């Protein structure tokens, strides 16, 4: 499962403003008529419930929006640049080069404008005045911006199944849902999270099978980081313990220690403890001893078989009860009918405009991007253009 990728995005540059004058019959004093350049295209990251992983970004990592068209005569504005829309799974976080989260896409249809297109340059008609009736200056389009971003997928599920390898997590999610992960009698059969929809007593919720965790998972051992991040968005955890283990209590404590070392907030998530494989006689005989060895951690304790289904219904009753006591995840569901409510659109901070002054090595530096863009279009061989600019 591809759940973390680096991409490079570039917004479109704005089109140049036009330098043009009216030359028509019976219009002796036509004046300027150069149109403005079109805006550059934006790069937009959009949540899509049809996407499940970031595998599409394995080979395609560069995304470029279209440039704006140049202005032309008769005050015609240039065409706006085409936006580039990047579709990502719901639950994707967008991080900048410094690692800060700049957007969290938690609902299908939600958009984040990751790179804003450059503004189009003004045509010469914008610079006409009583003293400059035919300006021969115009503004170049603003350049697009380039960013390196990290996309990181954290699955959104109500219930997460955790435990050591070969505890029976895949068997349990197969029993409860239509998900069909690989099931075998050896550790690490599941190597990526598996989602399934559970329907129990007229309630439905999403469950995720987290691949087996081992000691050192919080340090990334055994792909620990890749698995642990998917636990962060769950509301309730079902902690499955292998009843055939030599030390079930030790396995339970070890996994909880890894959760806390990865993120202290995970220790506060409600857990339902289940001893699996009670269909085996040896587990049935020792089940109560295992309960006693858990001590105070066994207050939400169930003995189940993910193969025969014994005890699973009673455990799911408690899962539903605990879920009802937890705050709902912020999925910000969209309305059924388009137009009933605006789709969430996250926009970056607007770029600085106007004039700025700062000091460097005892020298005052004045910056005015708008003026600089005019300077780029000046024909310095033209005396009139120089006079109008200065």
The answer to whether residues 123 and 258 belong to one domain is no
Contact 275, 303 (CB under 8 A): yes
Q: Which strands, in side-by-side order, build the sheet including 62-64? A: 62-64, 4-10, 146-153, 92-95, 101-105
Asked if residue 295 and residue 183 are part of one domain, the reply reads: yes
Give the residue, 3 or 5, on which the prediction is more confident: 5
Whether the Cβ atoms of residue 146 and residue 2 lie closer than 8 Å to each other: no
| C-alpha dist (Å) from residue 165 to 69, 113, 147, 209, 311 | 58, 41, 39, 12, 21
Q: Comparing 63-72, 100-109, 141-150, 188-197, which segment has the lowest mean pLDDT?
A: 188-197
Distances (CA, A) of 225 to 3, 91, 156, 232: 11, 16, 16, 11
Q: Tell whether 109 is covered by a domain.
A: yes
Residue 80: predicted pLDDT: 93
Q: Record the tokens describing residue 318, joined without a space.
A: 């408690």
Indicate whether 42 and 80 sit together in one domain: yes
Q: Do 148 and 206 reside in the same domain of the chain?
A: no
Question: Is position 363 within any domain?
Answer: no
Is 79 a domain residue?
yes
Residue 197 has pLDDT above 70, yes or no: yes
Is beta strand 363-367 parallel, antiparallel or unpaired with respect to 356-360?
A: antiparallel
Instruction: With CA atoms as reference, report the closest residue to 65 among 40, 89, 86.
Output: 40
Quick one: average pLDDT of 6-11?
Answer: 94
Average of per-residue pLDDT across 61-74: 93
Q: Please check the confidence at residue 162 and state whether its pLDDT lies above 50.
A: yes
Residue 275 inside a domain? The answer is: yes
Instruction: Examine the domain organization and report whether 182 and 287 are in the same domain.
Output: yes
55 and 111 both lie in a single domain: yes
Assign 346 a pLDDT band (cuts: 50, 70, 90). Answer: low
Residues 205 and 271 in one domain: yes
- Rounded Cα distance, 58 and 193, in Å: 18
Min mean pLDDT across 65-74, 208-217, 219-228, 354-363 is at 219-228
Same domain, 250 and 148: no
Confirm if 377 and 137 have CB atoms less than 8 A apart.
yes
* Residues in a beta bridge with 357: 366
- Of 137-146, 246-255, 340-349, minimum mean pLDDT range: 340-349
Closest-CA residue to 42 (of 142, 118, 110):
118
Q: Is the pLDDT of residue 38 over 70?
A: yes
Q: What is the pLDDT of residue 187?
A: 47
In this structure, the answer to whether residues 33 and 60 fall within a common structural domain is yes
Confidence at residue 229, expressed as pLDDT on a 0 to 100 scale:
74
Amino acid 227: pLDDT = 66
Q: Which domain holds residue 176?
A: 159-325
Tokens representing residue 346 in the block: 């996250």
Is 290 domain-assigned? yes
Confidence of residue 390 (pLDDT cuts 50, 70, 90): low
Q: What is the mean pLDDT of residues 307-336?
A: 77
Q: Which two tokens stand for residue 218?
A: 């919080």
The larger pLDDT score, comparing residue 375 to residue 41, is at 41
CATH number at residue 274: 3.40.50.300
pLDDT at 334: 38
Pair (144, 163) in one structural domain = no
19: number of CA atoms within 13 Å, CB side?
12
Residue 331 included in any domain: no
Which has more confidence, 345 or 232?
232
What angle, rounded to 10 degrees, do the helices at 281-294 and 248-262 form? 50
In a domain, 267, yes or no: yes
Please give the pLDDT value at position 140.
Answer: 87
Take residue 253 and report the two structure tokens written for it. 């404590």
| CATH of residue 144 | 2.70.210.12
Domain count, the chain: 2
**336 inside domain:** no
Secondary structure (3-state) at 357: strand
Across 64-91, b (16+ Cβ under 10 Å) vs e yields bbbbbbbbbbebbbbbbbebbebebbbb
* Helix (H/G/I), strand (E/B), else coil: 248: helix
Indicate whether 283 and 242 sit together in one domain.
yes
pLDDT at 149 exceeding the cut of 90: yes
Query: Do 45 and 150 meet the contact criterion of CB atoms below 8 Å apart?
Result: no
- State the average pLDDT over residues 242-257: 86
- Domain co-membership, 316 together with 203: yes
């Amino acid at each position: 499962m591809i759940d973390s990728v680096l991409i490079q995005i570039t917004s479109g540059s704005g089109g140049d403003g036009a330098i043009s004058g009216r030359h028509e019959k019976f219009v002796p004093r036509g004046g300027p008529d150069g149109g403005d350049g079109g805006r550059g295209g934006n790069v937009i990251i959009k949540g899509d419930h049809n996407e499940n992983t970031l595998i599409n970004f394995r080979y395609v990592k560069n995304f470029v929006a279209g440039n704006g068209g140049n202005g032309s005569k008769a005050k015609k504005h240039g065409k706006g640049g085409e936006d580039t829309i990047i579709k990502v799974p719901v639950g994707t976080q967008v991080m900048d080069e410094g690692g800060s989260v700049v957007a969290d896409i938690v609902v299908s249809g939600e958009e984040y404008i990751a790179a804003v297109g450059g503004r189009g340059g003004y045509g010469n008609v914008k610079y006409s005045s009583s003293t400059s009736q035919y300006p021969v200056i115009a503004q170049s389009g603003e350049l697009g911006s380039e960013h390196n971003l990290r996309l990181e997928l954290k699955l959104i599920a109500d219930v997460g199944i955790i435990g050591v390898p070969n505890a029976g997590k895949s068997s349990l999610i197969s029993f409860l849902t239509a998900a069909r992960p690989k099931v075998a009698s050896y550790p690490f059969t599941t190597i990526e999270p598996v989602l399934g929809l559970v329907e129990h007593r007229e309630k439905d919720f999403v469950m995720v099978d987290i691949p087996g965790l081992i000691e050192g998972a919080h340090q990334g051992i055994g792909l620990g980081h890749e698995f642990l991040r998917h636990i962060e968005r769950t509301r309730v955890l079902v902690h499955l313990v292998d009843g055939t283990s030599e030390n079930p209590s030790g396995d339970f404590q070890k996994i909880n220690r890894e959760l806390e070392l990865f993120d202290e907030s995970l220790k506060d998530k409600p857990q339902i403890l289940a001893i699996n494989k009670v269909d085996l006689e040896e587990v049935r005989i020792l089940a109560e001893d295992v309960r006693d060895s858990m001590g105070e951690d066994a207050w939400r304790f169930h003995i189940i078989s993910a193969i025969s289904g014994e005890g699973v219904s009673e455990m799911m009753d408690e899962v539903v009860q605990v879920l009802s006591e937890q705050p709902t995840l912020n999925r910000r569901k969209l309305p059924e009918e388009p137009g009933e409510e605006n789709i969430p659109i996250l926009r970056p901070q607007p770029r600085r405009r106007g004039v700025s002054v700062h000091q460097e090595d005892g020298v005052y530096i004045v910056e005015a991007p708008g003026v600089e863009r005019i300077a780029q279009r000046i024909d310095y061989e033209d005396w009139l253009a120089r006079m109008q600019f200065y």
